[in-house]
Structure 1
């Protein structure tokens, strides 16, 4: 799923499923391929990790987050571009299955890299998190799901609203 990163990717889609019993899944649709990566709540607070990415993109700073499975997982890296400050490079590294509970400094096999407009990346990630935030107001959706960072999500959304990438389209 690696591609030429000279132009902004307007076709990629990201999905996040805040699943039952601490499990989550981050799904990328990129260049006609669907790649899903499971995330274990035992090793990773997936919503918080995605908010870390959003906060870095809003401040145009680099970050790496580990999204651990049992075993293996991915590291998601966001790198700003000084020449095109409205974009970031999003890279995904797959970590070997024998590792469990690794950190964001782990190196792995590059499985995807693409350039995205910062606003688009924040919009996709926060939209996915906002859906879970809203669904968690329903008691039937709450059953079997772990803690969700509602206050932090609202704070990051407000940061987006106040940033040069705003306003947020979430309410």
Structure 2
């Protein structure tokens, strides 16, 4: 879908469930419909991939990441817009093949594309990781969960706070 055709989207929401035993989900509610991107920790470290996306958004650079499931998965692409630098185009493509992992360059079936404010997107994604960061302080919440990039999250939050997209509301 052409970037010129996409209106600004202030409605789409993102949720992230860093589950137990390596399973996770990135949930996108787009036009009132949830799209659940299941992720297997065997092939993809979802918190690290979300941090990569957020780093690219803060730096206003394009990125494409693979979110592998068992089987298939999705790729998430962030494209910068030179004319409207406060926004990015977010696109998701479903990978249906029974693959045991794949790269970000894997072609897939188009799922959705939307123009979203950079500040809003980085806020939603980092807030989802921050909830896990805080909950992992509780021993009962830690049970069955993989390691989490606490230090990297705090450092990226500081970069966001000091960037033109800041200040961060995560304190």
Q: How many residues align?
A: 169
CA distance in 1, matches of 2:100, 2:77: 19
Q: Does 1:90 align with 2:90?
A: yes
- Three-state SS of the structure 1 residue aligned to 2:8 is coil
TM-score between both structures, scaled by the size of structure 2:
0.96
Q: Does 1:105 align with 2:92?
A: no
The alpha carbon displacement at 1:32 in A equals 1.3
Runs of 4 or more above 6 Å deviation: none
Deviations 1:45-101 (A, max 9, x none): 100000000000000000001000001000000000000000000000100231221
TM-score between both structures, scaled by the size of structure 1:
0.96
CA contact (8 A) 1:39 1:73 kept: yes
The corresponding residue for 2:13 is: 13
- Three-state SS of the structure 2 residue aligned to 1:116 is strand
The corresponding residue for 1:123 is: 123
The alpha carbon displacement at 1:8 in A equals 1.4
Q: Does 1:54 align with 2:54?
A: yes
Unaligned runs of 5+ residues in structure 1 are none
Unaligned runs of 5+ residues in structure 2 are none
The corresponding residue for 2:28 is: 28
